[in-house]
Amino acid sequence: MEADYVVVGAGSGGSALAYRLCEAGKQVVIVEFGGTDAGPFIQMPGALSYPMNMPIYDWGLKSEPEPGLGGRQLVTPRGKVLGGSSSINGMVFVRGHACDYDHWAEQGADGWRFADVLPYFKRMETWHGGTDGGDPDWRGHSGPLHVTRGPRDNPLFDAFIAAGHQAGYPVTQDYNGRQQEGFGAMEATIWNGQRWSAANAYLRPALKGGRLRIVRGLARRVVIEDGRAVGVEYEAHGKVSVLRARHEVVLAASPLNTPKILMLSGIGPAQHLQAHGIGVLADRPGVGANLQDHLEIYMQFAAKLPVTLYKYWNLLGKAMVGAQWLFTRKGLGASNQFESCGFIRSAAGVEYPDIQYHFLPIAVRYDGKAAAEGHGFQVHVGPMRSKSRGAVTLRSADPRDNPVIRFNYMSHPDDWEDFRKCVRLTREIFAQPAMAAHVKHEIQPGAGVQTDAEIDAFIREHAESAFHPCGTARMGRADDPMAVVDPEGRVIGVEALRVADSSIFPRVTNGNLNGPSIMTGEKMADHILGRRLPAENAEPWVNPEWRVAQR
């Protein structure tokens, strides 16, 4: 069996890339280990805490014990399903800040400035914001990915935005438009009350066209002959086969599994490969290095008024919400409940936001455990640009073994300082009149946690991953010894092999990574096809007082 292009992974990057290649008349086969994304747990936005905790949909990967977090092992969910992590994520849509991409270009990712990526963000989306303001000229209006805003019916959503404004921060009409900085409505990949994953946006239309096939199986390695990738070896039903690529092989298997497949194929740090008995085809020490993520804490508050979602946090309430969604695609089940947010700078001298807020009108964890106190709400907060770096390495030469994942969270002293600022700035926001009217008391960290040492102990015990890993096959110039792919996505040292997922990010972007991952697939398809959308020199807003003022 062969195709023009063989893609590993039917997730955000792989789906977008396959769609564009098929649109251009190419034959594409995707190798995907996961199964169908059908069913309410994935398709119902309000059920988002379920799929990321279900072994049928999630790879079940965990970090090694993290020294900076008291030896805790953190879960790092990755989608093992059509649509990849876009089928199990929180559906929050953030492009990232313009300065993120300009930084990529400075690090050697030529052609990935904000001016270069903005046309791809526009091409990929159909934006349904705008009823409460926004920047239509910065947005796309005919792409496969629907981006919407929640109704913000719960009064707490607007109270959070108002409190941010009362604390002296700007309000932004569209954080995915000209001005990210400030508080405003959050956007999501939800359409007609349903999760609008990469599977719904890209895979289904491409499959209908007849040029895309999806093969179920575990990708074991890239087959390389005379320095050129010619196919992918995969295992299905106990049998090992090879899918041949007439033109190229593209890896889009996640920033945790893409470096694993590269190393199993003989591409990676030579000594590490040799230690596992793997022949070295390309000595690339950057494979698996540069691992980054966003870490966050949940600051939880007990509510004075019974306006939170806690009233539905029982069997009958959940059944009612689920039934309404099943029959009408409306109601609370049609939202991810992340409907307002904020992006702020932690200090004067920080050019653009480095703290992100997701507000949620219930006090509950990602694993579905509600706060014991009943009615409450929370905000997820964490620094955006941690200086800590980790690595993904091989556990063994067996493709069925999960990789070794070490994030080295909180290993840089600045991370502690940044997190303390997060706690203190957040308390100030929740003390503003708009939120103070709703706050009974702080559940966690709790009013007794005040000193640096007390805050640090809370972080050590309670910080969680925001599930934004990236960077393990980073883009750079071909003469950069730690770069893995060049700015065209081509693996340095091997022909006809590319990477098209968040592995290639030189540095983690501001906010959630699904949007940038889909953009990567869209743009890499054009690199493969030898075409490029013209750059757009839109001028993003940066606070003119950033050098001297925190807000």
| pLDDT tens series, the chain, 551 aa | 899 999 999 999 999 999 999 999 999 999 999 999 999 999 999 999 899 989 999 999 999 999 999 999 999 999 999 999 999 999 999 999 999 999 999 999 999 999 999 999 999 999 998 777 899 999 999 999 999 999 999 999 999 999 999 999 999 999 999 999 999 999 999 999 999 999 999 999 999 999 999 999 999 999 999 999 999 999 999 999 999 999 999 999 999 999 999 999 999 999 999 999 999 999 999 999 999 999 999 999 999 999 999 999 889 999 999 999 999 999 999 999 999 999 999 999 999 999 999 999 999 876 666 666 889 999 999 999 999 999 999 999 999 999 999 999 999 999 999 999 999 999 999 999 999 999 999 999 999 999 999 999 999 999 999 999 999 999 999 999 999 999 999 999 999 999 999 999 999 999 999 999 999 999 999 999 999 999 999 999 999 999 999 99
Pick from 442, 462, 482: which residue ends a domain? 462
- Residue 533, CA distances (Å) to 61, 520, 522, 536 in order: 37, 13, 11, 9
CATH number at residue 377: 3.30.410.40
Both 419 and 332 in a single domain? yes
* Catalytic center residues: 468
Cα–Cα distance for residue pair 248/244, rounded to 1 Å:
9
Q: Is 81 annotated as a binding residue?
A: yes
Pick from 420, 446, 462: which residue ends a domain? 462
Among residues 384, 374, 371, 385, which one has the least CA distance to residue 299? 371
| Assigned domain for 59 exists | no
Q: What are phi and psi of 513, to 5 degrees?
A: -100, -5
Q: Can you say whether residue 453 is alpha, beta or left, with left for phi > 0 and alpha for psi between -120 and 50 degrees?
A: alpha
Both 125 and 174 in a single domain? no
Neighbours of 253 (CB within 10 A): 28
Q: Is 96 annotated as a binding residue?
A: no
Structure token pair of residue 436: 């103070």
What's the domain count of the chain?
A: 2
Both 209 and 146 in a single domain? yes
Q: What angle do CA 147, 501, 19 make, to 5 degrees?
A: 60
Both 439 and 527 in a single domain? no
| Assigned domain for 65 exists | no
| Assigned domain for 115 exists | yes
Structure token pair of residue 30: 């995707």
| Assigned domain for 323 exists | yes
Q: Is 89 annotated as a binding residue?
A: yes
| Assigned domain for 82 exists | no
Q: Is 92 annotated as a binding residue?
A: yes
Among residues 342, 388, 408, 418, which one has the least CA distance to residue 508? 388
DSSP string, 107-124: TT-TT-SHHHHHHHHHHH
Structure token pair of residue 379: 């905000």
Both 324 and 458 in a single domain? yes
Both 32 and 142 in a single domain? yes
Domain containing 160 equals 151-185+295-383+411-462
CATH number at residue 282: 3.50.50.60
Both 238 and 372 in a single domain? no
Pick from 444, 462, 480: which residue ends a domain? 462
Both 456 and 440 in a single domain? yes
Both 240 and 268 in a single domain? yes
Both 473 and 509 in a single domain? yes
Both 365 and 377 in a single domain? yes
Both 299 and 425 in a single domain? yes
